Amino acid sequence: MRNTAKFTTAVLAAGALTLGLTACGSDKDSASDTTGPLVVAASPTPHAEILDYVKDNLAKDAGLDLEVKEFTDYVTPNTATEDGSVGANYFQTQPYLDEFNKKNGTHIVSVVDVHLEPLGLYSHKVKKADDLKSGATVAVPNDTVNEGRALQLLAANGIITLKDGAGTAATPSDITENPKKLEFKELEAAQTPRSLDDVDAAVVNGNYAIEADLKPAQDALVLESAKGNPNSNLLAVKEGHEDDPRVKKLAKLLNSPEVKKFIEDTYAGAVLPSF
């Protein structure tokens, strides 16, 4: 049985608002007390599932007391890591982390890459990307990095063309050619799979695709390539906590042969080990 505390964005709103107060409060938080359990914030799928595997099968023998807290948004795990409410997080990519730190003045750093979740284009209305009609509506994540990544996916498959240098920060305004005159609907990443009945297609992050019972290797009209992909999901901590012995133990376990096999056996290509 899973022993994981689950948190929703609504429940955590008050906690997120107290970031400044917590940072100025007690020094005895999850991040500074290295003798207590390591509390890790994670997205439910596959991050918390992978952490639960580590907790249930590997942590005890490694001398690691691990506690997993699930979060359903892409903001609170970082603010909680910054203010010390949790000791680490596992949910994001390096480009997203860099952008978050830049925008929010946080000091979160990467510890180790763990896995890649291929981004895919999905539809309940067409079987192939070429079948999208002129003026079709495509939902994309609205956060800077994932929106840029979504547009790069469409560009890599010849659906649109982006101006040179658009990179991971690309937005619809960077589109130079749009033969199908696609209209883009910007949504919170978690909402993109839920929009599939209302739009013609949606670009969905791998973890949300899995939660929505989509099978990326089978269901995606186009799918991100793993080769040379910079968007691996990583374990992260607040700067200065990289040498926490608990964090080092977890990093080693997350890059272990046992976790690699668990990822490959459990997700059948929807999640790929990055080590």
pTM of the model: 0.72
Residue 10 burial (CB count, 10 A): 9
pLDDT at residue 16 in the model: 40
CB 186 within 8 A of CB 142: yes
pLDDT of residue 226: 73
pLDDT at position 4 = 38
pLDDT tens digit sequence for 63-90: 999 999 999 999 999 999 999 999 999 9
Q: Alpha carbon of 55 to those of 8, 209, 218, 256: distances in Å?
A: 22, 24, 30, 13
Q: Give yes or no for a contact between 68 and 40, defined as CB atoms under 8 angstroms apart.
A: yes
- Distance CA(71)–CA(190), nearest Å, equals 11
What's the rounded Cα separation, in Å, for the pair 6 and 8?
7
**What SS3 state is found at 225?**
coil
Which letter, b or e, does each residue of 50-81 get, where b requires 16 or more Cβ atoms within 10 Å of its Cβ? bbbbbbeebbeeeebebbbbbbbbbebbbbbb
What's the CA angle centered on 49, arms 45 and 246, to 5 degrees? 120
Per-residue model confidence (pLDDT) at position 229: 83
What is the DSSP code (8-state) at residue 3? Answer: -
Q: Helix H segments across the chain?
A: 9-17, 19-23, 49-57, 59-62, 76-83, 94-104, 144-156, 206-211, 216-219, 245-254, 257-267
What pLDDT, on a 0 to 100 scale, did the predictor assign at position 2? 35
Residue 169, pLDDT score: 86
| Eight-state DSSP code of residue 47 | I
- Look at residue 228 in the predicted model and tell me its pLDDT: 75
According to the model, what pLDDT value does residue 1 have? 37
Give me the residues of the chain with pLDDT under 50, please: 1-28
Tokens of 265: 């056996």
pLDDT value at position 17?
A: 37
